[in-house]
Structure 1
Amino acid sequence: MDYRAYQVEDFLFDESFRQWTSGTSAQATAFWEQWLVQHPDRVHVVRQAQEMIRVLNNHYRDDATDDRLASELQRLMNNAAERRDSESVTPIVPLLQRTPFWRWVAAAVLVFTIGISGWFYINISHKAAATSYANLTKITPVQLQEKINNGAKAVNLILGDGSVVILQPKSRLSYPRQFAGANRTVYLNGEAFFDVVKNPASPFLIYANQTVTKVLGTSFLVRAFDGEKDVTVAVRTGRVSVYKQQEFERAQQLGIRRIQGIVLTPNQQMIFNLEANRLTKALVEKPAALMPSVGTQEQVFEDAPVAKVLTAFERTYGIKILFNEADLSACLVNLMFTNETLLERLDVVCQTIGASYEVHDGQIVINSKGCK
C-alpha cells in the first residue's frame, strides 16, 4: 500500500490509521509512528486527518446514529459555507442517512480541510512566535548581552561562570554578564558548541527553538536555527537532558520535578522535529572516542572473546552495546584496529562471526546466533 499518495479522506478510511489515532492498537501505533518518521513531508496531512478523527470521535461518542451524524454534518457544512461566503450548500442529508459513518465523514473533510489547515497554521505559528529567540530574550526579567556571529568563522566566548561557547556563523547567543539565581540560562538562535563548567547547584539551561537543554556540566552541540524544521542536540561528554519547552515550563510552574524528556550520553543525539512535535534519540553520525588519543591508538585482540571486544568498544566510545553474552561465549576473534571508526569496527566484528547489528534509541544491538 502506497500511503504516500494518501489525502486526508484516505487516511480516514484506513482502519489501522484510525486505531493509531484512537490509541486502540499497539501494532498500528508502532507502524504509523515509524512511517511518519520515514515520511516527514506527510506530517501536515496526517495531522489534519488525526484532528478530524479526534473531533468526530469526541463529538459523536454518545449519539452516533446515522440520522444524528447526518444532521450534525449538514449543520457544520452550512456553517463552514457561510464562513466562506459560499452561495449555497447542496443538501446531503438524504444521501448520508444510509451511508456508513467513515464513508460520509470524508465529505466533512472536504469542507473542514481549509478550516483545519488554518487552525494548525495559527496555533503552530503562535507557538513558534511565543517560543522564538526574539520573544524569549525580550520578556526575560534578567538583563542580557548578545553576541552575534556574522563572520565566516566560529567565535569563542567565555561566559561569566567560565563555560566556553563556540558560536558558529549566522548564529547569536544572549546571556547575562554574570549568572545569578537557581539556573544559568542562555538563549540560542543558530548553532553552538558548549563546554559547560560543572555546578550541580545551578543547572545550565539553553533555550533554543521550542526546546530546553539542561546540563550540570558537560560538552555538547546545539543546532537550532529559526526556519529549520529540526533542532539537534549532540553530546560529546557527560549527560544532557532535552525537553520540549512548553512541557518544561509547565512542570516548573507546577513544581513537578520529574518530567518527560530525553537523556543523552556521549555520542548520542536528540532530534526534535517541529512539525511532528516529536523528540527522537539516535547515535551521532560519527561516534568519537571519549579520549581522542585512545581512539587513534591501535586496538589489538588475540584469541579474544567477542564479548571482551564489544565491552572495550563501550568503554572507548561511551555507547551502550547490547548483546547476549551466552550466545557469543564460543566466539573468539583475532583482530587489529587502527584508525577505523566505531561503526567500521563493528562491521568487521560482525562479518567475522556472522552477526549483524542495528542502532536503536541511541544504542547498538548485536544480533547473533552464536559460533560453533
Structure 2
Amino acid sequence: MQLSDRNIINRVIAESASKEEAVELIDWFSSTVEGQQCLSDMLDRDAYLMESEPDPGKSFTSIQSDLLYKKIDRSIYQNRFRKSWLRVAVILLPIVVVSGLGFYLSRQTELFSETTYSEVYVPKGEDARIFFQDGTEVFLNADTRIRYPNKFGVRKREVYLDGEAYFNVASNRKRPFVVKAQHTETEVLGTSFNVRAYGNSNTIEVVLDEGRTSFHVYENNYPMLPGQKIEYDKSTGRTTLRNLINPSNASLWKKNILHFYDTPLADVIKELERRFDVQFQVQNAEALDYSYTLTTKQPGIENVLKELQKISPVKFKIEGDMISVSI
C-alpha cells in the first residue's frame, strides 16, 4: 500500500473514504512495521498537542466521548459490515476525539486484534538462532524456551524467556524491547546483551555488551552500562551489579565454546547436561568441593571430561547413558 501523500489517511479520518480504503488502511496499520510506526507518530503528535496547546472549547468531556462512542457503536451494529467498521471506529475514535480518549488508546499495545503468541523450545544438546519481524536477532542456548507475539505491539516489543539467550535488538527509540523472565524485566531500545534465566536455577544474570539496559525486578530498577553484569538471587531477592573485564565471555556459548570461571562442579555438571544432553551421578560428595576455570571448544563430552580431569583429582567415567563422578 502506498501512502506517500497521506490522502487515504486524511479521507478515512474525515469519514469520506470508501469501505475498501478503510479496510486497506486498517490492514496497513496492523500488519506492517511502517504502518505501526505511522500510527505511533500520529498518537504521539496528538498527545503532545493535548499537553502543550489545550483548547477547552474544542475538547470533549468524558460523558460526551462516551455518548459519541455509543452512537458510533449503534450505527456500526446496524450495518452488515459491522466487524470491519468496528475496527475502523477503534482507530478513528482516538483521532477524532483525541482529547477525551487519546491517552487511553495510546497506552494500548494491541489496538487491532487479540495478541497471538508463538513459542520455540530448544532441547538439551542443541542450540538455535531466530529472527523477529522487527529485525531483532536471537541466539538460543540448549534447554531454552522463548514465547513471543506474532505481531509486536505499537508501544512495546515483549518476549518471555526461560533459559539462556543472546539478543541483538533492532533499534527503535519509540518501541522498547522487553525480555520478561520470572518476575524480572530487561528493557532496551537497541542493544546486544545476554540473559541467563533458567527456571531451575537460583539466579538470573544479564550481561550487557552494547547500548544501555534497565533491569527491573518488582519495584526496583537498575540501569546498566556496557561491560556490566547484573545478578539477581531469586531466593534472597538480592541484586548485584558489577563491572566485567571480559563481558563477551558470558556469550561464548553461541560460538559453541564452553567457558567456566571459578565455577563449582555442581554448576559445571548442569551446564554439561544441557549442552550434551547427558546425565551425571555423583558418587562422592567431596567432589562437589572443587571449582573449575576452563575455556574450551571440544566437539564431544569425552574430550571435555578429559580437560576437566587435568584440573582436579575428580574422575569421570561414562557408563552407558550415565556419567559417574568420583574421587
TM range (shorter): 0.3 to 0.5
Q: TM-score, normalised by structure 2?
A: 0.40
Which structure has more strand as a fraction of its residues?
A: 2
TM-score, structure 1 normalization: 0.35
Higher relative contact order (CA 8 A, sep 6+): 2
